[in-house]
Amino acid sequence: MSEPTGTEATAEADFLTVSGLHAGYGQAHVLQGLDFSVARGEVCAVLGPNGAGKTTTLRALCGMVRGRGSVTLNGTQLLGRSPEHAARLGVAHVPEGRGTFNDLTVEENLRIGAHLRGGLWRRSRVERAAVAADLERVYGHFPRLRRRSGQAAGSLSGGEQQMLAIGRALMLRPTLLLLDEPSLGLAPLVTRELFEIVRTVNEEERTTVVVVEQNAQLALDIAHRAHVLEAGRLVLSGPARQIREDGQVAEVYLGVSALARKAG
Amino acid sequence: MSVVTDLLQQVVEGLGSGAVYASLALALVLIHRFTGIVNFAQGELAMLSTYVAWQLVASGMPFWLALPVTLAVSFAGGMLVERLVIRPVQGAPELTVVIVTVGLFIFVNALAGLVWSFTVKDFPQPFPDGGLYLAGVRLDWSTLGMIAVVAVVMGLLYLLFQHTSIGLVMRAVAGNPASARLSGIRVGRVLMLGWGLAATVGAVSGVLVAPVLFLEPNMMGGVLVYAFAAATLGGFDSPVGAVVGGLFVGVAETLTGAYVDVIGADLKVGVPLVIILAVLLVRPQGLFGRAAVERA
């Protein structure tokens, strides 16, 4: 269902292109052939009920599960690569359940995110300065993390851990940021703050974002485009605003309650 | 000799053998932290390293040159073991991995017997004879040397883990390999490094204990039991715990051997087993370990 805007499909519009993507775990065939593309600098929301294949989609993009078909990022094939290789190509995945390093301090967590830049033993002065600048940038987005920089990540609240996970992903200087259920288990107020930050990061750094969410309303608020998944297939794609305002879509796929206010 | 000096004398000797248990326990803990595996072959790998050192010295190399060469060989050997033996079963059920390390134990033991025979070999004492007296307690240079070597190993590991980027990466991999991968870390290579490091630390224990026990393929069997007790006592995920546990087990062994007539020299091998049992009953995570908490 890739639909290039205008007459020619530019590299900008097809920054991330997914075509004929099949993926699953062992015998479980979850994704039944997905086609979509994400333009550079866009926030793309992937919505749908539990078990639709949202998480599997993200995992296939970052190499955590194997897939068939094609996924290209800026023309480079991502399928068949390991997660560590995908990270080297600029894909930063924030997994469901955050995946912070609980024994490490907040700052150490962030430094791990920058590990791809510079040597294993000692960094040059230029590299150290670049990492320090990135730390500042992340602390700028997440002032709460700065206050806790020396604290063990395991002692943070759920919201702060999610901020840390996103901050660590940003330290990679990603071209593609994948967020898996960032609102999971967080209080509504914290979730809103988090999504505002993701919006800011996207606007200021032009980072392309693919976000998978149960909370459709939140995701649609910051997304440019959205895709609705059901049983491993895309059943709907379009501009986020249009999907948000389409009352029928809301009822059928996203649950009325989540969108009642907007749709009404 | 008064009662007190006699007691102190026993404690000092206990610390000396405790240093050996500490370094092997440290190797066990490193592997466990990195891979979640309890490596039953750790002692045999140390024994093999000790034979390498013996061979080098026997062919005329001075001991203090043979030592770094041995450690380097051990490092490479540990990496090789991870890549060839452990990597294929990484992620397999726990019992499979245990059986593989037990198999490695038997293989290495037989290999050493095949190459160097099972006859006992004299291993050079790296430290000078004699010692010094402190408040009536005799401190052998060899005892002090062993403690110093383990202290240096601890210090180097601390520097590596806390003050280098590779150390930070290693801690990240030990804590959460999946997230490490997502940050672009090549986890396989880091695990190889971890095994190499553990084999090197283990080799230190073999080289330290060989002059005392004499070198033969079964030399490390008993030491491994003490090291297990040390690691269990200190906590299988705590390097500091391994060292404290090792020293404690060494002292406990010497004291019970000297003062509890029923036990004496023959039964003191039971001491580590009693310690293991007691720790598992009272505080399974060990003194410095953390209880495993399953996230609901």
Tell whether B296 is within 8 A of chain A (Cβ): no
B120 and A CB contact within 8 Å:
no
More confident residue, B263 or B118: B118
Residues 6+ apart with CB under 8 A from B106: none
* Predicted confidence (pLDDT) per residue in B227-275, tens digit: 999 999 999 888 999 999 999 999 999 998 888 877 777 777 788 888 8
- Chain A residue closest in CA terms to B181: A84
* Pairing verdict, β B137-140 and B131-134: antiparallel
Q: pLDDT band for B282, please (50, 70, 90 cuts).
A: confident
Per-residue CA distances from B23 to B31, B223, B230 (Å): 13, 10, 10
The pLDDT of B27-45, averaged and rounded, is: 93
pTM for this structure? 0.86
* Domain assignment present for A73: yes
Partners of residue B183 in chain A, C-beta under 8 Å: 87, 112-113, 115-116, 168, 172
Q: What is the CATH number of the domain that holds A124?
A: 3.40.50.300
Q: Which residues of A touch B169 (CB under 8 A)?
A: 112, 115, 120
Look at the alpha carbons of B155, B157, B162, B166 in this order and tell me if their dihedral is positive or negative. positive
**What average pLDDT score do residues B145-160 get?**
93
Decide if A181 contacts A204 (C-beta within 8 A): no
- Is the minimum CB–CB distance between B179 and chain A shorter than 8 Å? yes
- Chain A residues with CB under 8 Å of B164 CB are 120-122
- Contact across the interface for B171 and A88, Cβ inside 8 Å: no
CA distance B173 to chain A (A): 9
Planar angle of CA B24, B26, B31, nearest 5 degrees: 100
Give the phi and the psi of residue A212 in degrees, each rounded to 5. Answer: -100, 130
B203 burial (CB, 10 Å; 0-12 / 13-18 / 19+) is buried
Are residues B185 and A112, on separate chains, in Cβ contact within 8 Å? yes
Confidence of residue B136 (pLDDT cuts 50, 70, 90): confident
pLDDT in tens, chain A (264 residues): 444 444 344 557 889 999 999 998 887 888 888 999 999 999 999 998 888 889 999 999 999 998 899 999 998 999 989 999 999 999 999 998 878 999 999 999 999 998 887 655 566 778 888 889 999 999 999 999 999 999 999 999 999 999 999 999 999 999 999 999 999 888 888 999 999 999 999 999 899 999 998 888 889 899 999 999 888 888 888 898 888 887 666 666 665 444 444 443
| Predicted pLDDT at B131 | 86
CB < 8 Å to A115, chain B:
165, 168-169, 183-185
Query: Is residue A10 assigned to a domain?
Result: no
Report the residue from A101, A108, A118 with minimal CB separation from B176.
Answer: A101
Q: Dig out the tokens for B253 from the structure.
A: 């062994």
Among the partner-chain residues A104, A115, A119, the one whose CB lies closest to the CB of B175 is A104
Residue A42 in any domain: the answer is: yes
Interface of A with B (CB under 8 A): 62, 64, 82-84, 87-88, 92-93, 95, 99-104, 108, 111-113, 115-116, 118-123, 168, 172
**Structure tokens of B281?**
């009953």
Q: Cα–Cα distance between B70 and B56 in angstroms, integer?
A: 8
CB atoms within 10 A of CB B37: 19
| Cβ–Cβ gap B180/A119 under 8 Å | no
Calculate the alpha carbon distances from A13 to A9, A237, B29, B234, B242 in Å.
6, 15, 51, 57, 57
3-state SS, B91-102, equals CCCHHHHHHHHH
Would you call B184 and A115 a contact, using CB atoms and an 8 Å cutoff?
A: yes
DSSP of B226-282 = HHHHHHHHH-TT-HHHHHHHHHHHHHHHHHHHHH-TTTHHHHTTHHHHHHHHHHHHH
Contacts of A123 in chain B (CB under 8 A): 165
Cβ atoms of residues B76 and B65 within 8 Å: no
Interatomic CA distance for residues A180 and A219, integer angstroms: 11
pLDDT of amino acid A24:
87
pLDDT, average across residues B285-290: 83
Task: Count structural domains, chain A.
Answer: 1
A7 in a structural domain: no
Q: For position A254, what pLDDT does the model report?
A: 63
Which residue reads 């320090």 in tokens? Answer: A132
Is A87 close to B186, i.e. CB distance below 8 A? no
pLDDT digit string (tens) for B164-214?
Answer: 888 999 999 998 999 999 999 999 999 999 999 999 999 999 999 999 888
Fold of B3-282: ABC transporter involved in vitamin B12 uptake, BtuC (1.10.3470)
Listed by start position, the domains of chain B span 3-282
User: CA angle, corner B220, sides to B218 and B224, nearest 5?
Assistant: 130
Q: What is the DSSP letter of A251?
A: I
Q: Which candidate, A69, A54, A67, places its Cα nearest to that of A25?
A: A67
Angle between helices B3-35 and B141-163 (to 10 degrees): 30
Query: Are the CB atoms for B245 and B25 separated by under 8 Å?
Result: yes
Q: Does B183 sit within 8 Å of A87, measured CB to CB?
A: yes
Contact B121, B54 (CB under 8 A): yes
Residues in Cβ contact with B14 at an 8 Å cutoff, skipping those fewer than 6 apart: B247, B250, B251, B252, B253, B254, B255
Q: Which of A156, A159, A199 is nearest to A182 (CA)?
A: A159
Interchain proximity B171–A103, CB inside 8 Å: yes
Instruction: State the angle between helix axes of B3-35 and B42-58 in degrees (0 to 180), rounded to the nearest 10.
Output: 110
B156 in reach of chain A (CB within 8 A): no
Distance of alpha carbon B159 from alpha carbon B162, whole angstroms: 5
- Residue A96's domain spans which residues? 16-263
Q: Using CA atoms, how far apart are residues B161 and A200, in angstroms rounded to an integer? A: 36
* Contact assignment for B178 to A119 by CB distance below 8 Å: no
Check CB contact of B168 with chain A, cutoff 8 Å: yes
- Chain A residues whose CB is inside 8 A of the B168 CB are 104, 108, 111-112, 115
**Calpha distance B269→B267 (Å, rounded):** 5
- What is the complex's ipTM, to 2 decimals? 0.85
Distance CA A87, CA B69 (A): 37
User: Would you mind telling me the total number of residues written for chain B in this entry?
Assistant: 296
What are the residues whose beta carbons fall under 8 Å from the beta carbon of B31, sequence distance 6 or more? Answer: B37, B38, B39, B42, B194, B195, B198
The DSSP secondary structure of B53-91, one letter per residue, reads HHHHHHTT--HHHHHHHHHHHHHHHHHHHIIIIIGGGTT
Short-list A81, A86, A155, CA closest to A116: A86
Q: In what order do the strands lie in the sheet with A76-77?
A: A28-38, A16-25, A67-73, A76-77
Residue B49 and residue B199 in contact, taking contact as beta carbons nearer than 8 Å: yes
The two three-digit tokens of residue A48, written as one number: 């749908």
